[in-house]
């Protein structure tokens, strides 16, 4: 250990690490906190920077706590970034990341604070487990294909099926528990009687139902949503309600409005937007076939709702979605909506509500929207993935 260097840790960076310098070179350090003095072990070298783990804490931050999981340490499970950080400390780190990305990439000064949505543990309702060569299910080491066997993951929902008690003969298996208590396995492997008794359905990786049900029911604000197999749904129990409330508040939909919900998934936002704009029109757009089919089922009771199965960028480019909209809501993948921004602005909506899971992609797209006449009216950040560096933002834009 004596050969490993000591550094003073600087600010947090996007990606679950902090920035330090070693002999003038930038080092991205995991398992550290701003202001700490730590001994590091370099894990990767590039021409521009180093990656390292903090292996000894010489001067600790007041926000440092003991990780609740024994695998949340250097060289072990890479699933969590901030188990060594207090809850308030995690909110501060996420806030600093969002603020820095907005300022650096979009020139926007944000004075908000990322909001907590609940406890740090027992929240993840969907987990994809990797399988080690010995057949045991686990999670991957940080930046590695190595699998760390996991018997008890503290952030996993306690009602998830337990996949640690059998050996698996395929590379991954997904476990899901819905808000209504249904449990699903997504796997091509055979399962034992004990595990089969824990679940309501088993679905193959291609979506084929192997046993029981292949569709789970989620409930939000008294409304039920069908979600097929491993189709997209928010993983924190509080996420769906939190985001629906934030989107509806930001969209300020009026009766008679024409509303587009882009990258709509199974229709979570579409359902509530459709209710709010009636007797106006709601168009729900989703490129994934299964999710679009789920949206069709979930919006069946709304006569003013239409479901379009097409990639959002293609639908906008071809004019499939019309020439005008009063409100546009978009919830793109992590890479953002770079190819859709100009076409959305061309619809001249009164409000744009952008739900983002990556602050860098959001900041980039907000800068483009700004150049097209849409300024940021408000932004809220939510810690929907406790113990990790991931943060969800809801940005509201209006015509300048």
Binding-site residues: 234, 263, 286, 331
Instruction: Give SS3 for 83.
Output: coil
Closest CA to 265 of 237, 304, 235: 235
Q: Which residues are annotated as a binding site for S-adenosyl-L-methionine?
A: 234, 263, 286, 331
Instruction: Quickly list H helices, the chain.
Output: 87-106, 193-196, 239-251, 268-277, 289-298, 312-317, 341-346, 359-371
Instruction: Quickly list H helices, 20-118.
Output: 87-106
**Per the residue annotation, which of 18, 80, 277, 357 is the catalytic one?**
357
| β-sheet bridge partners, residue 112 | none
Residues 6 or more apart whose CB falls under 8 angstroms from that of 343 comprise 313, 316, 317
Q: In angstroms, what is the C-alpha Rg of the chain?
A: 22
Closest CA to 310 of 325, 295, 297: 295
Instruction: Give SS3 for 397.
Output: strand
DSSP 8-state symbol, 289: H
Length of the chain: 400
Q: DSSP letter string over 253-288?
A: --TT-EEEEES-TTTHHHHHHHHHHTTSEEEEEES-
Question: Is residue 357 flagged as an active site residue?
Answer: yes
Would you state the structure tokens that stand for residue 78, as one six-digit string? 């890479």
Residues 6 or more apart whose CB falls under 8 angstroms from that of 377 comprise 250, 396, 397, 398
Would you state the structure tokens that stand for residue 6, as one six-digit string? 């000591």
15: left (phi over 0), alpha (psi -120 to 50) or beta: left
CA distance 17 to 74: 12
CA distance 218 to 224: 6
Closest CA to 269 of 295, 290, 288: 295
Q: Which residues are catalytic?
A: 357
């Amino acid at each position: 250990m004596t050969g490993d260097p000591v550094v003073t840790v600087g600010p947090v960076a996007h990606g679950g690490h902090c920035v330090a310098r070693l002999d003038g070179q930038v080092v991205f350090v995991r398992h550290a906190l701003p202001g700490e003095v730590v001994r590091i072990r370099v894990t990767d070298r590039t021409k521009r920077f180093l990656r390292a783990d903090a292996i000894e804490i010489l001067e600790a931050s007041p926000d440092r706590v003991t990780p609740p999981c024994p695998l949340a340490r250097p060289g072990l499970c890479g699933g969590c970034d901030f188990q060594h950080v207090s809850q308030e400390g995690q909110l501060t780190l996420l806030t600093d990341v969002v603020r820095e990305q907005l300022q650096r990439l979009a020139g926007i000064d944000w004075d908000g604070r990322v909001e907590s949505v609940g406890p740090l543990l027992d929240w993840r309702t969907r987990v994809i487990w990797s399988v080690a060569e010995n057949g045991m299910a686990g999670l991957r080491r940080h930046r590695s294909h190595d699998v760390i066997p996991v018997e008890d993951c503290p952030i996993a929902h306690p009602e998830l099926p337990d996949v640690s008690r059998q050996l698996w003969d395929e590379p991954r298996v997904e476990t899901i528990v819905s808000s209504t208590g249904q449990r699903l396995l997504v796997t091509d492997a055979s399962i034992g009687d004990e595990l089969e008794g824990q679940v309501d359905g088993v679905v193959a990786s291609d979506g084929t139902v192997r046993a029981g049900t292949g569709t789970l029911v989620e409930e939000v604000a008294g409304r039920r949503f069908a979600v097929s197999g491993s189709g997209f749904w928010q993983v924190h129990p509080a996420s769906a309600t939190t985001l629906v409330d934030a989107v509806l508040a930001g969209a300020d939909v009026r009766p008679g409005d024409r509303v587009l919900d882009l990258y709509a998934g199974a229709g979570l936002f579409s359902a509530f937007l459709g209710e709010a704009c009636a007797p106006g029109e709601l168009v729900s757009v989703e490129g994934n076939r299964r999710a679009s089919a789920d949206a069709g089922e979930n919006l069946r009771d709304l006569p003013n709702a239409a479901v379009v199965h097409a990639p959002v960028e293609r639908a906008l480019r071809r004019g499939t979605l019309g020439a005008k909209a009063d409100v546009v809501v978009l919830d793109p993948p992590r890479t953002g909506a770079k190819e859709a921004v100009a076409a959305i602005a061309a619809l001249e909506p009164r409000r744009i509500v952008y739900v983002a899971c990556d602050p860098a992609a959001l900041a980039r797209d907000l800068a483009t929207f700004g150049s097209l006449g849409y300024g940021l009216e408000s932004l809220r950040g939510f810690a929907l993935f406790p113990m990790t560096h991931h943060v969800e933002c809801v940005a509201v834009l209006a015509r300048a």
